[in-house]
Amino acid sequence: MMKIDFSGLESAVLRSCPNSELFDGISTTPSFQIPSTTDFDGFQKEAIQMVKPAKGTTTLAFIFKEGVMVAADSRASMGGYISSQSVKKIIEINPYMLGTMAGGAADCQFWHRNLGIKCRLHELANKRRISVTGASKLLANILYSYRGMGLSVGTMIAGWDEKGPGLYYVDSEGGRLKGTRFSVGSGSPYAYGVLDNGYRYDMSVEEAAELARRAIYHATFRDGASGGVASVYYVGPEGWKKLSGDDVGELHYMYYPVEPTAVEQEMTEVSVA
Amino acid sequence: MARYDRAITVFSPDGHLFQVEYALEAVRKGNAVVGVRGTDTIVLAVEKKSTPKLQDTRSVRKIVNLDDHIALACAGLKADARVLINRARIECQSHKLTVEDPVTVEYITRYIAGLQQKYTQSGGVRPFGLSTLIIGFDPYTDVPSLYQTDPSGTFSAWKANATGRNSNSIREFLEKNYKETSGQETLKLAIRALLEVVESGGKNIEVAVMKKEHGLRQLEEAEIDAIVAEIEAEKAAAEAAKKAPVKET
């Protein structure tokens, strides 16, 4: 069993020179070791800013009557450079649980894979599947223990367990929230606008998929860091199923088809005459 | 410090772990414990050796809670039991913290058995000298369970079992008389089994009943006396019924 380790609170000064006459009678407040820099406060902020990518992406998930709908874009950007238009941002943890990726791609991929391993070990040891609650808590505890070390993960764990559909938001600050509607990433404000406007609890699977697709499309339209392909997954009692993966460029012309204007029509008539 | 790393539990030439077997001896000298699993009720009954008049009986509860839905009774070294029970209680809460779900009976039994096994394979320690009977209802599925662990670290599920003094005779009785019961019938079966080896009377038995709705409930002495009286009456009636036909012919 782990005993709580108080050694960090012992005064470093007293430890190094316990018998020094200089310190007799002077009480020093307990302190812990700090990095030796010129500007300690600024150093902390700079370090955090350096490792904190802006989470350029749009992902969303919501619970409705039939289960959970999960959707994401597929663009990866490095500043202004689009490094990939085909990133898989919905990660399949196991046949009945999905995770979304926002933030550092490597961090998300690795820790979701690690979570999948832990979930499988839990199944083997306990002869039953782990709950979405349990899985999200395992991930949140791991991320909390790495807090401040530069991990960048903003993920949603969606799944179907004995209690029904489950959705949790977990991030690298160590936060964990249970909810029915979430969107994560730089495009999330735009996605929330469409999602919150069109959401009803009793939608059919097709209606919910269309809502998710439209929300991702609108986010990719306005947010430069989101784009590529809008993938939509559905999680039901049988597990997850990929419903669609549409290029957002094509979705644009589907929602806003180009109609010939009056001026152009005039021009064609003139050229004939 | 190196001296204390020497293993106490080592193999004998013919493959026995004597320390574990001696621990089982200690269990055999402990007070009798009976557990019976019904469809909606699980009962633990423990033999109470005569208590000194001045002792406060409330401080020597032999059937304890590990969590709201899990209880444990043991036979053997009571001091070892206290340590094991504390570790199990912490694990129940730790599990709730990490997966937000109460433990299943099988999980906590596996944990306790694992702990007992660790102490048979570590340096400088001796095995725990106790066998436990663990009862409880699984969360969400509400399946009732009864498990037993022993000093070697093995565990298994039972419909009814006994450990401690005279456990063999109690187990024989249970094998002959066990059937699927519920409610009061389960309670009577457990007490009948224990009365095989213990003087009858409310002050020699400690009984606790676990039901899905209200968790563990310790029975009052008066209640136990009443049930014992019922059992005695039934026994007398059965005896009389056996003798009566013979007389008629």
Q: If you average pLDDT over residues A128-142, what whole number do you get?
A: 93
Cα Rg of chain A, angstroms: 25
The per-residue pLDDT for A16 is 47
Residue A26 has pLDDT above 70, yes or no: no
A108-124 pLDDT per residue, tens: 989 999 999 999 999 99
Q: If you average pLDDT over residues A253-265, what whole number do you get?
A: 81
Residue B178 and residue B176: Cα distance in Å, rounded?
A: 6
Active site residues of A: 57
A171-194 pLDDT per residue, tens: 998 899 999 999 999 999 999 999
- For an interface test with A, give the residue of B94, B100, B107, B109 to mutate (most A CBs within 10 A): B100
As a whole number of Å, the end-to-end CA separation of chain B is 81
The first and second tokens of residue B58, run together, are 């409330």
Which residues pair with residue A234 across a beta bridge?
A: A69, A241
Q: Do B99 and A131 touch (CB under 8 A)?
A: yes
Instruction: Give B99's contacts in chain A (Cβ within 8 Å).
Output: 130-131, 133-134, 137-138
Comparing A19-23, A256-260, B3-7, the range with the smallest average pLDDT is: A19-23
Helix (H) or strand (E) holding B33: strand B33-37
DSSP structure class, residue A143 = H
Q: Do A137 and B140 touch (CB under 8 A)?
A: no
Residue A272 has pLDDT above 60, yes or no: no
Instruction: Give B104's contacts in chain A (Cβ within 8 Å).
Output: 126
Q: Pick from A250, A257, A184, A197: which is nearest to A221 by CA?
A: A250
Q: Which of A125, A134, A162 sits opposite B140 (nearest CB)?
A: A162
* Structure confidence at residue A15 as a pLDDT band (50, 70, 90): very low
Please name the amino acid found at residue A20.
S
Residue A19 has pLDDT above 50, yes or no: no
The per-residue pLDDT for A30 is 61
A52-106 pLDDT per residue, tens: 555 789 999 999 999 999 999 999 887 788 888 999 999 998 899 999 989 888 8
Decide: B178 and B195 in contact? Cβ < 8 Å. Answer: no
Q: What contacts B47, CB < 8 A, 6 or more positions away?
A: B31, B32, B33, B164, B165, B194, B197, B198, B204, B205, B206
* Structure confidence at residue A269 as a pLDDT band (50, 70, 90): low
Nearest chain B Cα distance for residue A121, angstroms: 14
Q: B101 in contact with A at a CB cutoff of 8 Å? A: yes
Q: Extract the residue ranges of chain B whose pLDDT is less than 50.
A: 1
Task: Output the average pLDDT for chain A.
Answer: 84
Nearest chain A Cα distance for residue B100, angstroms: 6
Instruction: Give the percent of chain A with pLDDT over 70.
Output: 79
The first and second tokens of residue A194, run together, are 């469409």
Minimum CA–CA partner of A140 in chain B: B98
The per-residue pLDDT for A38 is 77
Q: What contacts A162, CB < 8 A, 6 or more positions away?
A: A129, A131, B140
The per-residue pLDDT for A47 is 61
Residue B191 and residue B200: Cα distance in Å, rounded?
A: 9
Residue A194 and residue B135: Cα distance in Å, rounded?
A: 52
Residue A18 has pLDDT above 60, yes or no: no
A217-229 pLDDT per residue, tens: 999 999 999 999 9
Q: Which of A12-26, A247-261, B32-46, B215-229 has the highest mean pLDDT?
A: B32-46
- In order, the DSSP letters of B142-167 are --EEEEEE-TTS-EEE-SEEEESTTH
CA of residue B33 relative to chain centroid, distance: 5
The three-state secondary structure class of A99 is strand
Q: Do A130 and B99 touch (CB under 8 A)?
A: yes
Q: What contacts A138, CB < 8 A, 6 or more positions away?
A: A115, A118, A119, A130, B98, B99
Q: Which of A1, A126, A137 sits opposite B98 (nearest CB)?
A: A137
Q: A130 in contact with B at a CB cutoff of 8 Å? A: yes
Instruction: Give A176's contacts in chain B (Cβ within 8 Å).
Output: none
A78-93 pLDDT per residue, tens: 778 888 899 999 999 8
The per-residue pLDDT for A20 is 47
Instruction: Give B100's contacts in chain A (Cβ within 8 Å).
Output: 131, 133-134, 137
The three-state secondary structure class of B238 is helix
Decide: A157 and A135 in contact? Cβ < 8 Å. Answer: yes
CA-to-CA dists, residue A232 to A11, A192, A249, angstroms: 55, 16, 16
Instruction: For A104-117, give one letter per residue: b (16+ CB within 10 A) or e.
Output: bbebbbebbeebbe
pTM given for the model? 0.77
Name the E strands within chain A.
59-64, 67-72, 76-78, 81-84, 90-94, 97-100, 154-161, 164-171, 176-178, 181-184, 229-236, 239-247
A150-176 pLDDT per residue, tens: 888 999 999 999 889 999 999 998 899
Instruction: Give A130's contacts in chain B (Cβ within 8 Å).
Output: 99
Residue A218 and residue A214: Cα distance in Å, rounded?
A: 6
